[in-house]
Structure 1
Amino acid sequence: MAVPKVNEMLLQDLEEMGFPRPRATRALYYSGNKSLEDAIIWTIDHENDPDIDVMPLVDVDIDIDSSQSFPITEEIRIKAHKLREQERTKKEEELKRLEREREKERIQAGKRVLEVKRIAEENERQRNLALRKAEKEEEKRARGKVLQKLEQDKINRRSKHGSILPMENVANVRLEATTLEQQDKILQKPKPVYTTEKVDYLRECLRSLKRKHQAEQGRVRKAFETLLIYVRNVVKNPNNEKYRKIRLSNPLFQERVASMNGGVEFLELCGFERIGDLLYLPHEKTDITLLNSAGAVLNSAMTNPFFGLLST
């Protein structure tokens, strides 16, 4: 396969008129290499061919006399100009079409960005609302617990001194965090003060730990999980001494609990005592009720996303 030989003079004339060499060669070859007019007419008829600007290849070369030049008439020039104008117009229309499509895409992209921004702002607003709601609820619970503790102290003092205040005075005390039924239970069967206080201390200990290590949420959760394992083991096996012993030098204990401010203190609030290199919980001091409360506090610390956000 080779590029066909065409009249060089005609080829040069076509190139001077603005036609690319592949198109001019193709036009001369397929129009018979006779004249510029025939070549231009062929180009006009085949301007939409997909291979119009591809150099043609043929099996056999055609020997064309290239010594003769043909005159370029005004009609040929007009046709050539018209062809170039059509080509230019076609390219301009294609550029305009591409620009419209790009502008449409820019508008769509802008709308998508605005929608993503709107969704992000709405999500942030919802998170702030949830956070404020959780703060108010925790404040309400805290106030209720303070009022409950004050009322419990009054009941304990009355019980200690053998005096009973008139019921109408008791009824005037508002326990905001409890229902009426719960208030009746508190008045009829008071809980030991020491248990309530220790549970509050346990909760505050975990809050303090979480606040001090707020940039290390992974380590905080691992510490809570490890403390929960120690507490559950004692609750399930209170008579097994090995679950009531924790070696302070244990590398795992050091990494997960001892290195966290408040980790060892939490176990001491549960009843563990420091004896040399051990944290030891004596059998006679094992308070299952307190340990169950400690487990509940740990569960709350791990499942409540707002735990520890408020300072008390």
Structure 2
Amino acid sequence: MAGLSLECGDCKALLRTTEEAQEHAELTGHKNFHESTQAVLNLICTSCGKPCRTQTEQDLHTKRTGHADFADKTAETAKPIVLENKPVAGPSVSGEGGSAENAPEMVVPEVNKEALAELEAMGFPTARSTRALHFTGSSNVETAVNWIVEHENDPDIDEMPLVPSDANTSIQSLLTPEEAKAKAQELVQRAKRKKEEEEKRMEKERERERIRIGKELQEARRIEEQQERQRIIAFRKAEKEEENRARLKIRQKLEEDKAERRRKLGLPPEEPKPVVAAPPPQEEKKPFVPLRPASKAEQMRECLRGLKQAHKEDEAKVKKAFQTMLTYIGNVARSPNEDKFRKIRLTNATFQERVGSLRGGIEFLQLCGFERDQDEFLTLPREKVDMVLLNTAGSELNSAINNPFFGVL
């Protein structure tokens, strides 16, 4: 069977042509080559189209990119080796023909000097930088860096590339240095503008979200105030009815006492005045409104009122308790992921002095979501942090601190 490749006897590398063998010999100094019936692998990555000549290259490519599907096109590219009666590698012995004299001189290819200097300034060796610029055929530094990263495990990565002297052409940049610098500045400015536009867009989104939340809180506060007014009106009406019933009882008691005194004095009982029966009071029919349970905001307000009324003799202590609870709530609202803000030790002397010893202080924190555990801690689990509830608690505390009439009525 005809040879399909040339195998290096020193490193076992398979080469497709005598030219590749010649280049391999000049780069490595290996001289022992022989024909092989094993074809050089041609494994094409179905994802990115990169060819891999060995199983090692395939494994490295899979490790770097995650691509695992390859198409084996070895049979399509395998061709018999044509030696053309010339030595593959090594110096020619005089008298064995003039093939060594006819072999082209191999030189280092010329690459873009500025790009090479920039790569060297980045810390890449000269050989790697030259290979990258030569094989990418470009003076683009980013493209060369990507090539170095992809081929960093190649066995000849640190060997200087060689090309025939007659085929060596200076790789000219498509742009002059001034144009390349202007292009780079343009790309930087474009990236900055894009970043600024993205930041402006995000700021607008955040502003819209703040406005939406503000409107929702304002509407919820309006509804709560309206319901509070309705409850006050109903409470005053009930107080008035209770007062009327008390007055009626007092009047009846006076009439009974008067009749008792006339009886003791031997006076005839006073003729009762004709009493005109008052029509039974007719209850005003109003549309039935189902009672709803008190909201969290109402419970918080009542808790704070009870605390102030229970300690009304020491307003400074009450105000300090309100400010301390506002600090606890504010810390959690600003940094909900901080565990230290969501955990309060009940036995802490400062906490006991300012909040724990006051009736209603711990109850208010529990209304905000804090839970009491067996280790004498008040803990607010992260998944139970309710920003709307914390904002409501903050509003109620601010009202209690700033409103001089809070808890008076």
* TM-score scaled by length of structure 2: 0.30
Which one has more relative contact order, counting CA pairs under 8 Å at least 6 apart? 1
* TM-score scaled by length of structure 1: 0.38
